[in-house]
Amino acid sequence: MDKSNIDKIDIQEKKAKLRGLTYALLLCFFMLLISSLIYITVRDDIYNEIDESHYGLIFKLEEDMNRTIEGVSEYAIYLSQFPETEKALYGHVEALENTASVMQTICQHNRGIDQFRLLNNKGQEIVRINVDDSGKTSIVEKENLQNKGDRYYFKEGMKANQGQIYMSRLDLNTEKGEVENST
C-alpha cells in the first residue's frame, strides 16, 4: 500500500473513532438527561409524600392541641364555679386544700397540663400543681409559691371580663425569673 492509501485509511479510522466517540458521548448525554429527569421526578414524588405526611401530622397535632385547649378551658370554667375556689382565694384553709385536690385530680387526668396555677388578683400563686415528665403530680408548698403579677399573661388575663377565658400565647415556662430547662 502506498502512503496515500494508508493516510486515507488512518483518516477513515480516525473519523470512525470520532463518530463512535460522538455517538457514545451523545448516548451518555441522553442517559444523563433521562437519569436526571427520573431523579427529579422521584425526588418530587418523595417531597410530595413527605409534605403530605407532614400535613397529616400537623393536622393531627392541631386537633390534639385544640382538644387540650378546649378541655383546659372547661376545667378553668369548672374551677371558677367551684364553691371552694373563692373561699381559697380569701385564705380559707380547708377550701384551699379542697381546691388544690381538685386541681391535682384535673392534672392527673390530662396529659396536656404540666403546670396548673390558681392566682389571686395580685398575681400571687395560691395553689400550684406541677406535673413531672412521668406524669406524677405534686402540690407546691406554700413557701415555694411565686408572684406572677409582672407576667404578661397575668396582666392580660386581668383585663378579661368575668366569665371570659383569656388564652395566652404558648411560651417558655419561667420559674423564679429563670427560663425552665426541661431536657
3-state secondary structure of 175: strand
For domain 82-166, the CATH class is alpha beta
Q: Which pLDDT band, with edges at 50, 70 and 90, does 169 fall under?
A: confident
Residue 181 is predicted with a pLDDT of 60
Is the confidence at residue 54, as pLDDT, over 90? no
Q: Which residue has the higher pLDDT, 32 or 4?
A: 32
Cell of 116: 396548673
Residue 127: Cβ-neighbour burial (10 angstroms; 0-12, 13-18, 19+): buried
Whether this model's pTM surpasses 0.85: no
Q: Which residue has the higher pLDDT, 21 or 138?
A: 138
Q: Which residue has the higher pLDDT, 101 or 7?
A: 101
Residue 43 is predicted with a pLDDT of 80
3-state secondary structure of 161: coil
Is the confidence at residue 88, as pLDDT, over 50? yes
Is the confidence at residue 22, as pLDDT, over 90? no
When mean pLDDT is compared across 65-74, 84-93, 106-115, 174-183, the lowest value belongs to 174-183
For 88, phi and psi rounded to 5 degrees?
-60, -40
For 73, phi and psi rounded to 5 degrees?
-60, -45
Is the confidence at residue 4, as pLDDT, over 50? yes
* Domain boundaries along the sequence of the chain: 82-166
Residue 183 is predicted with a pLDDT of 47
3-state secondary structure of 167: coil
When mean pLDDT is compared across 12-21, 127-136, 142-151, the lowest value belongs to 12-21
Residue 16 is predicted with a pLDDT of 74
